[in-house]
A and B are shown apart, each in its own frame.
Chain A
Amino acid sequence: MKNTLVRALADHGILLVLLLLCLFFSVVTYSEQSPTGAKAFRGVAEAVFERAGERAGVLIVASNQPSDSGFAEGVEREMVRRGMSVLGVVRGEPKDARDALVRVSSEGARLDAIACTQSAGAWRVFSDLGSDFPALGAPIVILPQSYGWPNFLKAENLLNISNQIAVIAIMAIGMTLVIISGGIDLSVGSLLALSAVLVSWFIRDFAGGVNATIFGMLWASIMAIFICGVAGAFSGFLITRFAIPPFIVTLAMMLVASGIAFTLAEGQSIYQIPDSFVWLGRGADLMKLPNAVVLMIFLYVLAHVLMSRMKMGRYLYAVGGNDEAARISGLPVKRVLMFAYISSASLAGLGGVVMASQLKSGSATYGNMYELYVIAAVVVGGASLSGGVGKMMGTLIGAFTIAVIQNGMNLTNVESYTQKVVLGVVILGAVMLDKFRRQK
């Protein structure tokens, strides 16, 4: 019995960990949500009718939040249908509600009820109505009945998680290639910063700044990614030609790239770029999926095909498993390694472009410690640092595991310092689990 359990756990490994984490955060972020839709409007109107009567004077209040949109109109329609009188409709900030209360109170009208959304109901402007607006009498505040649903499982949050991890997940594709080939790439975080600085610098200085055209922005992005690719080629060259350990070469590249990024940006952030540049990082065109997430999924499908269906994929496993055997078998070991480092650096460059787009600016401070998150995602996803083992989908799950932990802890009010400890422990736990599986 125990053995079957252990095996089930081991076979599904990290996916199981991810699901358990999701389940855990779903339970702990379970909270009240405000309902929307016709049913809620009808319900509120009904409650007003029951509690305050048909001739009640009612103020309807909704906040600026997108989830409140339609509430005021919906409730008003329902109330008008019942022949009730609406004294005013407020859609905005607490200040607007106060103005409306002042107006109603100066008109001398009797206010019996305030129908508001959950978020507007939390405003303090309604908390001391009796003393603040004695002329109004004692209106009752009516809110829609909230329902329970985990914050974590809201569609909005799930998209949020994917969007937050997209950059790291894209970089992790390249890192998976490098780690499967038996190497490591420490330069990705700095290359991300370099690329973000380069793309915004190109746009500012060469493509026309805030008036840059789409073509200019595309050119700047490609150039930034290309330069990162060249940096990767340089690392790969040193590693294959002079047999310097990848750890050393990419560590040096990390410092060089970061230094160049700081020099180019002069320690400031470069922000003179067009508004349309945020399309990649913040837009959501395909079925409400953020563009960065679509890009990430596309790249993972591509990488999965590469690793499982194409020659280069098999070569990478072979080189990482035993490079001597691969060389003797006549595989182009150097070319394979070059491919891995160039891919890793170019994808870091792409990550930088995405991040510059998300933040609409480029700064050399981006990507700090990202190499460690990326490596963690790959290793948590089941790749072995000694090479030859690893799967693209594993890496994607690994990246999501890290994102879910970070997001979940933010949602459950875990303090920053504790978050680091928890993240470290979970990464260790995931790798232990993996080790466990390997020994079976």
Chain B
Amino acid sequence: MMKNHLAILAFLISLFPSCDEPVVDPTSSGKKKGMIGVSLLTLDNPFFKIIGDHVAVEASKSGYDALVVSADKDIAKQGNQVKDFIVKKVDAIVLSPCDPKSIVPIIQEANAAGIPVFTVDIPCQEAGVKIVTQIATDNYGGGKEAAKAMIEVLGAAGGKVGVIHFKQAQSCILRVKGFREVIDAHNAGGGSKVEIVSELEGGGAKDIGYKAAEDALQANPDLRGFFAINDPSALGARAAVEKAAKADQVVIIGFDGMPEGKQAIKEGKIYADPIQFPEQMGVQVVQAIVRHSKGETLPAEILIPTRLYRKADADKDAALK
């Protein structure tokens, strides 16, 4: 009970100094720290954890406090978090939407409150929302890089390749689009032909990717390569290739650069990955907030390029065993 009295006392004392003159002028606007509210899809996935951590670090470098919360893939929870950000009057809101469609009324609420909204990794392309800028991986460019790696590894012989897709995700559609364009351009240029003979749904997951790769191998026994749109489905494809005892015949290109994927590259199980840079996303979104606050005009989207990561990179990577 004693503690309660203390709390009440503290409360009353804290109210006291507020009752003085209406105005002075604290000319120093740099004194007060701004606040950035960040609600990410999840923090269980290391990818988003890295984004969150880098937002926090970069924010404190730029004189902001960042409040990073996980929406746990629950759009209603994300909505509540944004409402709380609005009450706190944060200076900017960063979202990676749990659902790019259901997020619309939530972003509209932030718009109505006059708080600038930024997205990171997962864009929202719907009409009727005002987003300052959307920061995401250049998936299209990444797909192109994957195709270059495929052409490079197949060499003069060329051959048949299969794509393990995940069509629900806009990001994966862009990856495959980039991949196809470079392959087509290469084929048009003469020389060795790289032929995309199958495009199967891999669910972005190991088990479904495994089945898809198995089916592709059944249909095309002379398959020479797989492009899988992320690391789990690449690893699933690898398992299918091993089971069919075709590890020497079929090469695999993945995407993402998750720790497990990088490890597989180091062990030679995956040839290469266009890797994403969640660190960059975290840093860039804070820089975008600062630039917006400075009054600069920002592009509607800022794409972070991927980089091809091969065995040589993995061997130099201190983070791998």
With both beta carbons as reference points, the residue of chain B lying nearest to A139 in the complex is identified as: B27
A122 and B114 form a contact (CB under 8 A): no
- Report A61-103 residues with CB < 8 Å from chain B CB: 63-66, 68, 93-99, 101
Which residue of chain B has its CB nearest to the CB of A126? B29
Instruction: Pick out which of these stretches binds chain B: A39-47, A177-185, A432-440.
Output: A39-47
Number of residues on chain A facing chain B (CB within 8 A): 79
In the complex the two chains form, what is the Cα distance from A220 to B168 in whole Å?
Answer: 28
Q: Which residue of A lies closest to B80 (CB)?
A: A164
A206 in the interface (beta carbon within 8 A): no
Most chain A CB neighbours (cut-off 10 Å) among B7, B34, B102: B102
**Nearest B residue to A355 by beta-carbon distance?**
B76
Is the CB–CB distance between B297 and A95 below 8 Å?
yes
Kindly report which residue of chain B lies nearest to residue A26, judged by CB atoms: B11
Contacts of B25 in A (CB 8 A): 47, 51, 140-143
- Residue numbers in A under 8 Å from B290 (CB-CB): 124
Whether A213 sits at the interface, judged by CB under 8 Å, is: no
Residue of A nearest to B15 (CB): A148
Stretch in A224-232, A330-338, A341-349, A358-366 touching the partner = A358-366
Q: How large is the interface on B (under 10, 10 to 19, 20 to 34, 35 or more residues)?
A: 35 or more
Nearest to B292 among chain A residues (CB) is A94
Nearest neighbor of A149 in chain B, beta-carbon distance:
B18
- Which of A5, A124, A141, A269 sits near B293, CB closer than 8 Å? A124
Are A363 and B75 in touch, CB under 8 angstroms? Answer: yes
A144 touches B (CB below 8 Å): yes
B294 near A20: Cβ-Cβ < 8 Å: no
Q: Point out the residues of chain A lying under 8 angstroms from B297, CB to CB.
A: 95
Pick from B22, B106, B116, B295: contact of A40, CB under 8 Å: B22
Residue contact B104 to A360, C-beta cutoff 8 Å:
yes
Contact among B65, B114, B296 with A98 in the assembled complex (CB-CB below 8 Å): B296
Residue contact B34 to A98, C-beta cutoff 8 Å: no
Residues of A within 8 A of B87 (CB): 151, 154, 156-157, 160, 411
A93 to B25, CA, bound (A): 22
Interface assignment of B244: CB less than 8 Å from any CB of chain A = no
Question: Which residues of chain B in 5-52 are interfacial with respect to chain A, using CB atoms and an 8 Å cutoff?
Answer: 7-8, 10-11, 14-15, 17-18, 20-27, 29-30, 32, 34, 43
Nearest residue, chain B, Cβ from A368: B74
CA distance A66 to B105 in the complex (A): 17
A358 touching B76 by the CB < 8 A rule? Answer: yes
B24 near A68: Cβ-Cβ < 8 Å: no
Residues of B within 8 A of A358 (CB): 76, 79, 105
B21 and A366 form a contact (CB under 8 A): no
B314 at the interface (CB under 8 A from A): no
A365-B74 CB under 8 A given contacts A278-B105, A416-B43? yes
- A44 closest partner in B (C-beta): B23
Of A93, A167, A413, A417, which is within 8 A of B67 by CB? A413
Give Cα A284–Cα B68 distance, bound, in whole angstroms: 30
Report the minimal beta-carbon distance from A144 to chain B, rounded to whole angstroms. 6
A170–B70 alpha-carbon span in the complex (Å): 25
Q: Which of A121, A144, A368, A410 has the most CB of B within 10 A?
A: A410
| CB nearest to A407 among chain B residues | B84
Contact string, A113-152, partner B, CB cutoff 8 A, digits 1/0? Answer: 0000001011111110000000000001111110111010
CB of A199, distance to nearest CB on chain B (Å): 14
Whether B69 lies near A415 (C-beta < 8 A) is yes
CB neighbours (8 Å) of A244 from chain B are: none
Main secondary structure of the interface of A (DSSP, over half): helix
A63: chain B residues within 8 A (beta carbon): 114
Once bound together, how far apart are the Cα atoms of A97 and B113, in whole Å?
Answer: 18
The answer, yes or no, to whether A391 is at the interface (CB within 8 Å) is no
| B99 nearest in chain A by CB position | A269
Question: How long is the Cα–Cα vector from A26 to B12 in the complex, in angstroms?
Answer: 11
* Given contact pairs A66-B113, A94-B295, A360 touches B102 in the complex (Cβ within 8 A): yes
Output the nearest chain A residue to B289 by Cβ-Cβ distance. Answer: A124
**Complex Cα gap A95–B133 (Å):** 14
Q: A182 CA to B27 CA in the complex, in Å? A: 64
- Is the CB of B112 closer than 8 A to any CB of chain A? yes
* B residues near A125, Cβ cutoff 8 Å: 293-295
* CB pair A94 B293 closer than 8 Å: yes
User: CA A125 – CA B106 in complex, angstroms?
Assistant: 27
Q: Shortest distance in angstroms between A161's beta carbon and chain B's nearest beta carbon?
A: 9
Q: Is A406 an interface residue (CB 8 A)?
A: yes
Evaluate contact between A271 and B102: CB separation under 8 angstroms: yes
Residues in chain B near residue A65, CB distance under 8 A: 89, 113-115
Within 8 A of A (CB), among B160-208: 168
1/0 contact string of A159-176 vs chain B (CB within 8 Å): 010011001000000000
CB of A204 closer than 8 Å to a CB of B: no
Could you tell me which B residues sit within 8 Å of A by CB distance? 1, 4, 7-8, 10-11, 14-15, 17-18, 20-27, 29-30, 32, 34, 43, 65, 67-70, 72-76, 79-81, 83-85, 87-89, 91, 98-99, 101-102, 104-106, 112-116, 168, 290, 292-297
7 A-B residue pairings within 8 Å (CB atoms): A30-B11, A65-B89, A65-B115, A95-B292, A123-B294, A124-B294, A413-B65
Instruction: Give the interface of A toward B (CB within 8 A).
Output: 5, 20, 23-24, 26-27, 30, 32, 35, 39-40, 42-44, 46-47, 51, 63-66, 68, 93-99, 101, 119, 121-127, 140-145, 147-149, 151, 154, 156-157, 160, 163-164, 167, 267-269, 271, 278, 282, 355, 358-361, 363, 365-368, 406-407, 410-411, 413, 415-417
| Contacts A35-B22, A125-B294 known; 11 new A-B pairs at CB < 8 A | A5-B1, A27-B11, A43-B22, A65-B113, A66-B112, A142-B25, A145-B22, A148-B15, A363-B75, A366-B75, A366-B76
